[in-house]
Structure 1
């Protein structure tokens, strides 16, 4: 049996602050153990693994609602569905990267002055942002 921890000990072991643990409890992502009379709640040390999973999965771009769904799939029988959800998220991330690269290129063009070299009223950067977009070529 794993040692039991106070909420502060659990937070330290999981690498989060106490308020994060409490927030996850309110969201139902981490269970709240019973509070003994005249004592503080005790958490199994393996709850830290669950909290680390939540934090790492958030860092991968999953919402807390999506993470809750993944936690409900935590069994050997649902591993294929978990993999499918992760692959779907991967596709979304790839699209975001493509969009961000296009945004970076457009911003670079505007910021370096490649737009608006002719005499216009007002700021040519603002005018350029108001122009219709040119269609992107499919590669």
Structure 2
């Protein structure tokens, strides 16, 4: 027997706010729920499992668009594991690019911080001077 939960209890069970549940519904990540005679949304164990899947995928860095595709593949009778692997491989490449960008930013900020004369007036701060300089790049 599947237990029915109101949106508040459902949101609490999966660790999100009710507006997050409504957002997932608006974006077709979660099907429109059944309703009580009074019009209250009701959710079941399948919905709990689906939102847990969504949340775990988000923690791994997948976007909601990617998660929608993963959910679609998961429910497909014809999809192959290779389809999921392709999405995951693209995600890994995206993450490697983001990591490289963050490392570049860290190096630039570290260099600026190392050049900062702590006792100088703020007008002589190289960090502020760098930020005020027109440039096409965000690094030094």
| TM class, shorter-length | 0.7 to 0.9
For residues 123-138 of structure 1, what are the structure 2 equivalents within 5 Å?
Answer: 124-125=126-127, 126-127=129-130
**Cα offset for 1:90?**
0.8
| CA shift digits 1:30-71 (9 cap, x unpaired) | 112232323633211221121122122222222212211111
- Superposition CA RMSD, Å: 2.8
TM-score by length of 2: 0.75
Equivalent residue for 2:84? 82
**Is there any run of 5+ residues in structure 2 with no aligned partner, and where?**
117-122
2:13 matches 1:23: no
**Cα offset for 1:123?**
5.2
Count of residue pairs the alignment pairs up = 128
| CA shift digits 1:3-52 (9 cap, x unpaired) | 22111221111111111111111111111223232363321122112112
Equivalent residue for 2:14? 14
2:61 matches 1:61: yes
2:37 & 2:126 partners in 1: Cα distance?
Answer: 70
**Cα offset for 1:132?**
8.4
Equivalent residue for 2:120? none
1:67 & 1:7 partners in 2: Cα distance?
Answer: 22
Distance 1:29 1:123, change over 3 A: same
For 1:99, which of 97, 101, 111 is the aligned residue? 101
**Is there any run of 5+ residues in structure 1 with no aligned partner, and where?**
115-120, 134-139
1:6 & 1:132 partners in 2: Cα distance?
Answer: 51
Equivalent residue for 1:44? 44
2:7 & 2:90 partners in 1: Cα distance?
Answer: 35
2:115 & 2:83 partners in 1: Cα distance?
Answer: 49
